[in-house]
Amino acid sequence: MTASQTNFSQLKDFLAYLATIKGDLSNITAPPFLLSPTSATEIPASWASRHDLFLQPAQEANAAQRALLILKNFLCSLQHQLHQTFANDGPRKPINAVLGELFIGEFSGADGSSTRMISEQVSHHPPVTASALYNPENEMSSTGYAAQETSFHAATGCVRVQQTGHAIVRDEKHGESHLRTLPSMTIKGLLTGHPHPELEGVCYISSSSGYLSTVEFTGKTWAGGARNSVRAELKSVRDGGKVFEVTGQWSGRLAIRDCATDTLIDEFDVAEVPTSEIRVPPLETQSPWESQRAWQGVAGGIREGDMRRVSAEKKEIEEAQREIRSAQEMAHVEWPTVFFHAAAESREFEVLARAIPDPAVRDLARDRTAGAWAFVGVEAAEALISEGVYHRSLEPTGQILHGASS
């Protein structure tokens, strides 16, 4: 029996196991061959992966065009985000982040500026990742958080990942904020051996400048259609007039029309939009709590195809984490987050969400995200990064942490 046949057999057994479980599957440990060598904390970097596009609103004079650029960056970021969970040889589940895990890096802009990226696992039950991106030179930033709820539907053989949360993109040069909600994902075709991802549902981008983008995802069905299809309308909130329309595939070609003149103003392949790689410190200088150092043994085993090493490395961290959680519960103490804190409300979210027609989307749903997570701010974050010691007493493996990040 070949390795691929063995893996497919194990996948079928794993799906049969999932079918017996009720509720959220996000923290279920997947078979080693299904794992990605990256942590879930690395996914938010996708939002600035088209880095120059991420910064473009700061240089645009027209408010409607700025709202369109925010929408364009959102759509162009999806392919990179999905690549974290779907490789050429099939689905890859990101490694479940441990509570307190951090991912910190930087993007470089064509103008010489840099964008800091910070991601932190702020909750384990439910799993919630908070993130912040900021570029002081261009006065562009984005902060947000997402909880994931994963379910398996035995009748269709699909795995569905429901995201709860939001991000707010801020353009300080123009005094604007843009609230962005999150899509859900379904992995189809698992039982037939031809898995593929689809985004589904409706997302919104509500801009303080008075524009609302409605983004509808559809896919290929028995009745027709194309995979990864998307249709977005950008309207004026004041008069309801449609300003721009975007159609196509978020993984392929997209076309943008000016609705006032009914003219095609842009058509492009998402793959042609320049991408930027995020830079992270060398492993030896990272804190033991930073993702790539924390999971280096697991990631190495995945890349080498050494599944025994993957299982052993994961087991050491996961067992230590269970012991840490148990000790916390016995002592009645909460885990101290570093770059984000749980707030009771978000006034900015509430104001921007008023333009969204769906009442369910206007709800912060704090019970599903363990709070409304707020960023500590650029100055405080830079001071913490400069010090480089984030959880002073322990490593993720439960060992006592000595010194700083060495």
pLDDT tens, 267-320?
999 999 999 999 999 999 999 999 999 999 999 998 888 888 988 998 899 888
pLDDT on residue 279 = 97
- Helix, strand, coil shares of the chain, percent, nearest 5, are 30, 35, 35
Phi, psi of 49 (to 5 degrees): -65, -30
**Angle separating helix axes 307-331 and 296-304, nearest 10 degrees:** 160
Looking at 1.10.645.10, 2.40.160.120, 3.40.710.10, 3.40.50.300, the CATH number of the domain 1-221+278-287+336-388 comes to 2.40.160.120
Residue 318: CB atoms within 10 Å:
15
- The predicted model gives 154-159 an average pLDDT of 68
Residue with tokens 């779907």: 86
Residue 383: CB atoms within 10 Å:
11
pLDDT on residue 149 = 84
Pairing relationship of beta strands 93-95 and 35-39 according to DSSP bridges: parallel
Q: What is the pLDDT of residues 3-44, one digit of tens each?
A: 454 455 555 555 555 555 455 545 555 566 667 889 999 999
| 187 vs 124: CA distance, rounded Å | 23
Across all residues in the chain, what is the average pLDDT? Answer: 86
258 Rama sector, left if φ>0, alpha if ψ -120 to 50, beta otherwise: beta
- Both structure tokens of 303: 């890349």
Q: Give yes or no for a contact between 75 and 232, defined as CB atoms under 8 angstroms apart.
A: yes
pLDDT over 70, % of the chain: 83
Of residues 159 and 34, which shows the higher confidence score?
Answer: 159
- Both structure tokens of 214: 């409605």
Position 334 confidence tier, pLDDT thresholds 50, 70, 90: confident
For 28, 136, 225, 298, 378, the CA distances from 384, given in Å and listed in that order, are 32, 17, 49, 27, 10
pLDDT on residue 352 = 98
- The predicted model gives 140-159 an average pLDDT of 82
Residue 205 has pLDDT above 90, yes or no: yes
Residue 402 has pLDDT above 60, yes or no: no
pLDDT over 90, % of the chain: 60
Q: What is the pLDDT of residues 165-195, one digit of tens each?
A: 999 999 999 999 999 999 988 877 666 666 6
**Of 95, 39, 102, whose CA–CA distance to 288 is shortest?**
102
| 197 vs 189: CA distance, rounded Å | 9
Q: Give yes or no for a contact between 152 and 161, defined as CB atoms under 8 angstroms apart.
A: no
Of residues 125 and 106, which shows the higher confidence score?
Answer: 106
pTM, rounded to two decimals: 0.89
Position 406 confidence tier, pLDDT thresholds 50, 70, 90: very low
Listed in sequence order, the residues at least 6 apart from 174 whose beta carbon sits closer than 8 Å to its beta carbon are 57, 58, 63, 66, 209
Residue with tokens 């595939």: 249
Residue 341 has pLDDT above 90, yes or no: yes
| 181 vs 301: CA distance, rounded Å | 35
Q: What is the pLDDT of residues 84-111, one digit of tens each?
A: 555 555 557 788 899 999 999 999 988 8
Q: What is the pLDDT of residues 216-233, one digit of tens each?
A: 998 766 555 688 999 999
**Of 117, 118, 98, whose CA–CA distance to 39 is shortest?**
98
- The predicted model gives 375-393 an average pLDDT of 90
pLDDT on residue 85 = 57
Residue positions counted in the chain: 406
